[in-house]
Structure 1
Amino acid sequence: MRSIVGLVCVVGAATLYLYLLSTYLPVGPRRVTSSHVRGEETAEDPQQSPEKHGRLKFPSDLEELREMAELLRYYKSEHTGYILLLFSSAYLYKQSFAIPGSSFLNILAGAIFGPYQGLLLACVLTTVGSTLCYLLSQAFGKDYIISLFPDKVSLLQKKVEENKDCLFFFLLFLRLFPMTPNWFLNMSAPIVNIPIVFFFCSVFIGLLPYNFVCVQTGAVLSEVSSLDDLFSWQRLLQLLAIACMALLPGALIRRYSQKRFKLGSAEHNGLPANKKSQ
C-alpha cells in the first residue's frame, strides 16, 4: 500500500509540474510578414501567436507535428531555455512513466533542434527517462510487476541468467531486436537484477539507431513543403543513407548474437518449446 501511495504522489507531482510549465508560454518574438497586395510589411502581435498556431499538446499525426514544430521553432528564437526545458520535461515524463509516443517526440526533436543537437538530446533524454523508470520500478513496483506479468518476468530472468557472461551485449540485442517491449524491459530490469550501469549504457547505445532514424526524419520533414520535395533524388538518397546507418549496428549485433547468445528459437518466437511443433 505504501508503494502505491508513493507512486501516486510521484505521478501527481510530475503531472502538476508539467501542466504548470506548459501553461506558461512566454511572449514570442514579433514576426514581420509581407503583404503582397499592398506591398507593405506588417508585424504580428506576439500575444495572438499562440492562438493562431494552436495550443500546446502532444502531436498525434504528421500535420499536428508540423504545426507544433513551427510553433516551438518560433518561440525557440528568443526563449531557447524555456523550449528546451519544456521539451525535456515532456520527454522525461513519457519515458519515466512508460507512456507510448516517444517516436513523435524524437521526430519533433529533429524538427526543432536539428539533426545533430536533436539526436544528442533524444539519446540523453531516452537514457535518463528509462533510468528513472528503472528507479521507480525498483522503489515502488517490483511486487506489482511480478504479479501482473509473471511469465514474462520469469522468461526474462531465465534469459538474463543464461547470458550472464555477455550480459551487456545481450541487453544491446534486446534493444535492437526486442523480444519484449522497451517499456517492459525498463520496468523489469531491476527485478531480474540487471546492474544499473549496464542498463544505462545499453539504453544509450542500443536505442541510438532508432533515435537516429526518428530525429533525421524530423529534420527532413521540417524542410519539406510538398510531396515533390520529399520524393526528390536528394531527399531519397538522404533517407536511404539514414536507413543504412540505422541497420548497420543491428546487423553486427545480430551476427554476434548467433554465436554467443542463448535465446532459444521457440521463446524468441513467443511460443513455449513444447508447443512449437503443434
Structure 2
Amino acid sequence: MRSLVGLIAVIIAATLYLYLLSLYLPAGPRRRPPASAESEHVETEKSGQTADEPSRLTFPSDLEELRELAELLQFYKTEHTGYVLLLFCSAYLYKQSFAIPGSSVLNILAGAIFGPYQGLLLACVLTTVGSTLCYALSQAFGKQYIMNLFPDKVSMLQRKVEDNKDCLFFFLLFLRFFPMSPNWFLNMSAPIVNIPITFFFGSVFIGLLPYNFICVQTGVVLSEVSSLDDLFSWERLFQLMAIACMALLPGIFIRRLSQRRLKLDTREHNGLITDKKVQ
C-alpha cells in the first residue's frame, strides 16, 4: 500500500509541476489570415476591429495541425528559447516516465522545432533519461504490482535474461531493435529481472536510436513541406527511403550478431517471446 501511495504522490507532484509551468505560457502570435481574406482583414483593422484569433497549443490530429503546432513552437523558440526547451523536456520526461503513449509525435516535433541534429540528440537523451526514470519508479514503487499483473511475461523475460547473461547488453539491444515486447513493459520490468541500470541506460540510448532518427527526420521533412503533394514528391520520397535505409543498418548488424551469440530460439506469444517446442 505504501508503494501505491508513493507512486500516486509522484504522479500528482509531476502533474502539478507541468500545470504550474503551463501557467507561465507567454503570449503567442496571432494567426495570419488566409490570402483570400487579406482585403477583408485590412478593412476590419481600419474599422478598429481584428479578425485574428490567438494561436493555442493543441495536440495535432493531422498533417496541417502538426505543421501549425510546429510553427507556433518555432515562434516561441525564437522569442522564448529557454521556456520552449524546458516545456518540451518536461512534457517528454513526464510521458516517458509514466509510460504514456506519444513518443513518435514528440520526436517529430523535436525534428521540426530543433532541427535534425539537435532534435535527434534531444530525443535520444530524453528517451533514455525518461526510460531510466520509469525504471527507477518501477524499482521503488511498482515491482509487486507488475509481477501480479504480468506474472507469465515477467517470468519468461527473467528466463531469457538468465539464458543470455553472458551477452546481456546485446540481448537488450536486440529487444530494442526488434521489440517482441512493448518498450514500456521492458522499462518497468527491467529492475524486476535484475537488469543492471548501466546496461539498461546504454541499451535504450543505442537501441532506440534508429526509431528516434526516423521520427526526427520525418519531423524535419514535414516542417519543410506545405502540402501532401510536396510530401509525396520524388525528392521527398527518396529522402524518406534513404532515412529508412540508414536506420535499418544497425538492426541488420544486431540481427546477424544475435544469430551467432544470443539464445533466441523463440517465437512471439502474447507480446513476449516464448520457447519453441522441440518436435
TM-score (norm 1): 0.88
- Alignment match, 1:234: 235
Task: Give the Cα separation in 2 of the matches to 1:236 and 1:274.
Answer: 40
- Alignment match, 1:52: 54
The alpha carbon displacement at 1:233 in A equals: 2.5
- Alignment match, 1:45: none
- Alignment match, 2:190: 189
The alpha carbon displacement at 1:29 in A equals: 6.6
The alpha carbon displacement at 1:67 in A equals: 2.1
Task: Give the Cα separation in 2 of the matches to 1:92 and 1:27.
Answer: 24
The answer on 1:11 being equivalent to 2:26 is: no
- Alignment match, 2:48: none
The alpha carbon displacement at 1:180 in A equals: 0.7
The alpha carbon displacement at 1:26 in A equals: 1.3
- Alignment match, 1:199: 200
User: What letter is aligned with 1:13?
Assistant: A
The alpha carbon displacement at 1:265 in A equals: 2.4
The alpha carbon displacement at 1:153 in A equals: 0.3
Task: Give the Cα separation in 1 of the matches to 2:274 and 2:77.
Answer: 52
* Superposition map of 1:1-278 within 5 A: 1-28=1-28, 37=39, 52-54=54-56, 56-266=57-267, 273=275
Of stretches 6-15 and 231-240 in structure 1, the one that deviates more from structure 2 is 231-240
Task: Give the Cα separation in 2 of the matches to 1:211 and 1:88.
Answer: 15
Q: Matched residue pairs, number? A: 268
The alpha carbon displacement at 1:19 in A equals: 1.4
Gaps of 5+ in 1: 43-47
**Residues 230 and 236 in structure 1, CA contact (< 8 A), matched pair in contact too:** yes
Task: Give the Cα separation in 2 of the matches to 1:241 and 1:196.
Answer: 34
The alpha carbon displacement at 1:272 in A equals: 5.3
The alpha carbon displacement at 1:60 in A equals: 4.1
User: What letter is aligned with 1:53?
Assistant: S
C-alpha RMSD of the superposition: 2.5
Task: Give the Cα separation in 1 of the matches to 2:149 and 2:140.
Answer: 17
**Residues 97 and 133 in structure 1, CA contact (< 8 A), matched pair in contact too:** yes
**Residues 124 and 208 in structure 2, CA contact (< 8 A), matched pair in contact too:** yes
User: What letter is aligned with 1:236?
Assistant: L
Residues 14 and 73 (structure 1 numbering): CA distance in 2 closer, same or farther, change over 3 Å?
same
After superposition, what is the alpha-carbon deviation per residue over 1:86-116, rounded to whole angstroms, capped at 9, x for unaligned? Answer: 0100000000000011111000111111111
Gaps of 5+ in 2: 46-50
SS in 2 for 1:20: helix
